[in-house]
Chain A
Amino acid sequence: MKNFSGKVLFLDRDDINTDEIIPARYLTENSKEALQPYLLEDLEMTGFDPRQDIAGKAAIVTRDNFGCGSSREHAPWALEVNNINIVIGVGFARIFRQNMYNCGLMAVQLPSDTIEQLFARFAGKDTTVTTDFEKRKLVFSAGDQVEELEFELGGFDKALVEAGGWIGYADEKY
């Protein structure tokens, strides 16, 4: 199983699409690793600089409908090769969400008021999330601020994370 704990990158916008996560001009690469420098290159948000803000982060907290648009699995791969294995948000586009779990990564959904609270308490601070996969708990901390949250994980999603992705699971079963 992959690592789902570490420093948090906050992206305060709904509908961040796959073109913003990894632009189409990089889809001619034939390896995941080659995508590493280009993650979120086209995401234009006040105060966000991909070259500075991604380094050292292991998780993203965002709003609703993250990963909408194209089916490109390059989006989860670009996250993965930057050591970001978990995205936490109000909701995800269907294909992106499935692609995450198919790669053994996590797309965790929390209620919008919980996400709102996380932004209010932690955005802009040096925040760490610790994920307890078995107990389905997320612990956010920054300085003396600590928040513990429970999350839900479907049976299939859990199986894919444990199997390290869908190919291994399907090859054995079907």
Chain B
Amino acid sequence: MGKTIVEKIFAEHLVDVPFEDTQVIKLDAVFCHEITTPIAINDLVARGLDRVFDPDKIKAVIDHVTPAKDSKTATQGKILRDWARRHNIKDFFDIGRNGVCHALFPEKGFVRPGYTVIMGDSHTCTHGAFGAFAAGVGTTDLAVGILKGVCAFRTPQTMKVNITGKLQKGVYAKDLILSIISRIGVNGATGKVMEFTGDVVEELSMEARMTMCNMAVEAGGTCGICAPDMTTVEYLWPFIKDEFSSKEEALTQYSRYCADADAVYAETVEIDASEIVPMSTFGYKPDQVRPVSEMKGTAIDQVYIGSCTNGRIEDLRAAADVLKGKKIHDSIRAIVSPASPAIYAQALEEGIIKIFMDAGFCVTNPTCGACLGMSNGVLADGEVCVSTTNRNFSGRMGKGGMVHLVSPATAAASAISGQLDTAQ
């Protein structure tokens, strides 16, 4: 019987099967940020277990509230910073070098095909774009990962999401994943890894694949995953060029993680990309999705472009294409947060930051801040935000606020119109 991608990765990393249906796997990387890690650190210290399994496999960043907004967030940063120093964790990204974890860590080359990764953050599923198994976990799993380099999972099942057809102009990975979540529901992939396959996925850039995998958890998925191919190798080449004699050799090696032709899937979902149009959420759940064309005219107060879903260079380019030479509507305010310093620098070099500023956007440093209503763009009660982020839960960007999740192009078009609008 053939194996899916995640089954191959688990087989290669298996440490123990303590009980039927439970697999303990070895971890290649443990990612940490300042919201969920400090309590794990304090817990380990209190238990007399203040150790790390391998400082080179632990990567840490301050990203959720940065620079700190108050004493409490400053303390969270300090606990993480002191711990990273104490354990000689070299890949620690402090203020000035920090970015949104799921944008920063991939661009540093920390994720490779076949890797197993955990982080105390539900959007860790993003890294499956590299053909890796990457899962969000709680603080206790994180603490054990830090201490022992292992994590326990139920034996994974795979849902195949096969995407064929052709994406129309002005339709993006965000529209695609919102459509998929709408189709299967917020509980549709619970306990399963979502393996994205098909011509459309093969043509997507790494950035677009990350957008897709990022929102797997919004359908309940453990991880989104894309088979490694030449696009993956090209992206990683600067980091792996000393390990392989050629890109072709790297591809051959990584291809061992591709699913077998006779792999068994718990479920298969077929998506025709040709039918998909720009989408927006309308309620408080990520599966409440409608074509933007049906929601045109919805009043808004703020536009936000950024986050681990859509704060990468390709996203900023798509928004800037719409904004170029135009101004945002008088009645709203707009914020853009490039997701990492490298993205920020690239956007400066390409003149994208100038386009945003000329249009009337506030440009902030890289941070998660507004996405979860912590800083840099929190909504007031009753306000509405068109946002490129990943969750429209009630109160997510501020108590009493409403969030409409859209692509960067739709966000930019809405900023110009002062109401929900498409770029098409």
Please give the residue numbers on chain A whose beta carbons come within 8 Å of chain B beta carbons, in ascending order: 14-15, 17, 19-20, 23-25, 27-32, 42, 44, 64-65, 68-73, 76, 91, 93-95, 98-99, 102-103, 154-156, 159, 165-167, 170-171, 173-174
Contact = CB atoms under 8 A, between A and B. Distances in A.
B36 A73 contact: yes
Given A19-B394, A24-B374, A102-B138, A94 B220 contact: yes
Contacts of A65: 186-187, 190, 220
B152 A72 contact: no
A95 B136 contact: yes
Given A103-B140, A155-B18, 12 more contacts: A14-B187, A25-B374, A25-B399, A29-B72, A30-B38, A42-B394, A65-B190, A70-B121, A91-B190, A167-B144, A171-B49, A174-B16
A106 to B, nearest CB: 15
A44 B394 CA distance: 9
Contacts of B139: 73, 99
B295 interface: no
Interface of B: 15-16, 18-22, 24, 35-36, 38-39, 42-44, 47, 49, 64-65, 70, 72-73, 75-76, 79, 120-122, 124, 136-141, 143-144, 147-148, 150, 152, 154, 186-187, 190-191, 220, 222, 285, 372-374, 391, 393-396, 399
Given A65-B187, A99-B140, A103-B140, A20 B393 contact: yes
B140 A167 contact: yes
A15 B187 contact: yes
Contact of B19 (A31, A72, A94, A156): A156
B50 to A, nearest CB: 13
A174 B24 contact: yes
B37 to A, nearest CB: 11
Contacts of A156: 18-19, 21-22, 152
B121 A170 contact: no
B144 A28 contact: no
B23 to A, nearest CB: 10
Given A68-B186, A156-B18, A28 B140 contact: no
Given A19-B391, A20-B393, A94-B191, A71 B138 contact: yes
B79 A94 contact: no
A91 B190 CA distance: 9
B190 A94 contact: yes
Contacts of B47: 167, 171
Nearest to B68: A28
B396 A19 contact: yes
A76 B138 CA distance: 10
A11 to B, nearest CB: 14
B372 A24 contact: yes
A17 B186 CA distance: 11
A37 B30 CA distance: 32
Contact of A155 (B16, B22, B374): B22
A93 B135 CA distance: 13
A167 B143 contact: yes
B395 A42 contact: yes
Contacts of B39: 30-32, 73
A11 B232 CA distance: 45
A64 B188 CA distance: 12
Q: Which of B64, B72, B187 has the most CB of A within 10 A?
A: B187
Contacts of B395: 19-20, 23, 42
A19 B372 CA distance: 9
Q: Which of B18, B72, B393 has the most CB of A within 10 A?
A: B393
A154 B15 CA distance: 19
Given A15-B285, A156-B18, A156-B19, A72 B220 contact: no
A99 B36 CA distance: 13
B137 A17 contact: no
A98 B142 CA distance: 12
Q: Which of A64, A154, A170 has the most CB of B within 10 A?
A: A170
A30 B47 CA distance: 16
B187 A71 contact: no
Contacts of B38: 30
Nearest to B20: A155
B220 A28 contact: no
Given A30-B75, A71-B137, A166-B141, A93 B19 contact: no
